[in-house]
Chain A
Amino acid sequence: MADPMRIRAQAAGDKTTVRVLMSHEMETGQRKDAAGKTIPAWFIQEVSATLNGKTVMTAQWGASISKNPFLQFTVLGAKPGDKIGVNWVDNKGDKRSDEAAVS
């Protein structure tokens, strides 16, 4: 089970800025270990965000995203107290979902 995400959602008028930190190795599959063997690729593939359970954003990620990725996006029409959810699935099928309230 992956470590939890850190999600912050700050409303300013109509727009809510969501900042997400994810804990993930994001191994590209291009690197070799000390023994010269290729380190298998291991990265987040699908990311989705929800506002009160309704999907507001989906993204497809690949090996070019950094380790412990930071994601920021803006949602329209969220009010303080609303729930922002973020989900990811990696190429090994491991997944993580976390939620935060808009402040």
Chain B
Amino acid sequence: MKNILLIAALLTASGAAPAQPKSAADGIAEYRAMLADGNPADLFEAKGEDLWKKKRGPKNASLESCDLGKGPGVVKGAFVELPRWFADTGRVQDLESRLLTCMERLQGFDAAEIARTPFGKGEQVSMEAYAAWISAESRGLRFNLPQGHADERKTFELGKRAFFYRAGPYDFSCASCHGQPDKRIRLQDLPDLTKNPGDGIGFAAWPAYRVSSGEMWSMQRRLNDCFRQQRFPYPGFASDVTIALGVFMGVNAKGAESIAPALKR
């Protein structure tokens, strides 16, 4: 009888217990939900769509016949299949490197010069806008990177190697932070990028607008900052290693729903 009473008491106690205090992650999720309604990425999307159709560059041409992998001028659904192999350049390209090709071939821009330009300056500003609009055209679709071509599989293996490669003064690798679930930096949850971390997480959440800095970041810029945090030398814009990491993350994220352009702290 005493035991039964005790159990009843315990049940009552647990029933009346106050709600769990809000975790920091819950607080951030709430903050993001409030901001999501007015995601300034919208502004970049509109700008990107406009720029895409505008005649620009030394050749005074638009990008409307740019082939992002699904045929010339097809933008819808292209983003969730990038990076992929392109026959005309004979290499695996991500969104930004493909845009560089189009800007050079169609519009006559100097791709190497754009790649050297610091983020947020000159034509890199157009690059942010393109990335925002093109990714938005695939919002809600699921990642499905092709792996049919030998180069695509080779690039995946290269990306995997780069992901687990430990170096720098702190002996970091991408996997140090992104190799297991439930890790975080300060208050930001870090996705496990060795597998599909879920819809709209990790690879499926970029490009994104960063509220803290008021900037639109493409995957290239995201990776550039990851390299910085690892105390690695900065990678070249649209360089092979960044594309390879994109293939590795993208293939792992197969089936994840893209929410890009997303909103970040």
State in angstroms the CA–CA spacing of A66 and B47 once bound together: 20
Q: Which of B38, B43, B214 contacts A3 (CB 8 A)?
A: B43
Q: Which of B37, B43, B46 contacts A68 (CB 8 A)?
A: B43
Asked whether A97 is an interface residue with its Cβ less than 8 Å from the other chain, the reply is no
Asked whether B189 is an interface residue with its Cβ less than 8 Å from the other chain, the reply is no
A44 to chain B, nearest CB (A): 14
Query: A-facing mask of B42-84, CB < 8 A → 1, else 0?
Result: 1100110000000000000000000000000000000000000
State in angstroms the CA–CA spacing of A17 and B38 once bound together: 13
State in angstroms the CA–CA spacing of A3 and B40 once bound together: 12
21 contacts between A and B (CB under 8 A): A3-B43, A3-B47, A4-B46, A6-B42, A6-B46, A19-B37, A19-B38, A21-B40, A21-B42, A21-B43, A23-B43, A23-B47, A66-B211, A66-B214, A67-B214, A68-B40, A68-B43, A68-B214, A70-B35, A70-B37, A72-B38
In the assembled complex, which residues on chain B have CB atoms less than 8 Å from the CB atom of A72?
38
State in angstroms the CA–CA spacing of A21 and B47 once bound together: 13
Please give the residue numbers on chain B whose beta carbons come within 8 Å of chain A beta carbons, in ascending order: 35, 37-38, 40, 42-43, 46-47, 211, 214
Q: Besides the contacts A3-B46, A68-B214, A70-B40, what 14 more A-B pairs have beta carbons closer than 8 Å? A: A4-B46, A6-B42, A6-B43, A6-B46, A21-B40, A21-B43, A23-B40, A66-B214, A68-B40, A68-B43, A70-B35, A70-B37, A70-B38, A72-B38
Shortest Cβ distance from A23 into B: residue: B43
Query: B-facing mask of A27-47, CB < 8 A → 1, else 0?
Result: 000000000000000000000
In the assembled complex, which residues on chain B have CB atoms less than 8 Å from the CB atom of A68?
40, 43, 214
State in angstroms the CA–CA spacing of A47 and B242 once bound together: 43
Interface size class of A (residues with CB under 8 A): 10 to 19
State in angstroms the CA–CA spacing of A68 and B211 once bound together: 9
Please give the residue numbers on chain A whose beta carbons come within 8 Å of chain B beta carbons, in ascending order: 3-4, 6, 19, 21, 23, 66-68, 70, 72
In the assembled complex, which residues on chain A have CB atoms less than 8 Å from the CB atom of B40?
21, 23, 68, 70
In the assembled complex, which residues on chain A have CB atoms less than 8 Å from the CB atom of B47?
3, 23
Shortest Cβ distance from A70 into B: residue: B38
In the assembled complex, which residues on chain A have CB atoms less than 8 Å from the CB atom of B35?
70
State in angstroms the CA–CA spacing of A21 and B44 once bound together: 11
In the assembled complex, which residues on chain A have CB atoms less than 8 Å from the CB atom of B42?
6, 21
A55 to chain B, nearest CB (A): 23
State in angstroms the CA–CA spacing of A21 and B42 once bound together: 8
B214 and A21 within 8 A (CB): no
Shortest Cβ distance from A71 into B: residue: B38
A60 to chain B, nearest CB (A): 21
State in angstroms the CA–CA spacing of A68 and B132 once bound together: 15
State in angstroms the CA–CA spacing of A82 and B50 once bound together: 26
Shortest Cβ distance from B129 into A: residue: A3
A80 to chain B, nearest CB (A): 21
Shortest Cβ distance from B47 into A: residue: A3
In the assembled complex, which residues on chain B have CB atoms less than 8 Å from the CB atom of A4?
46
State in angstroms the CA–CA spacing of A72 and B34 once bound together: 12
Shortest Cβ distance from A4 into B: residue: B46
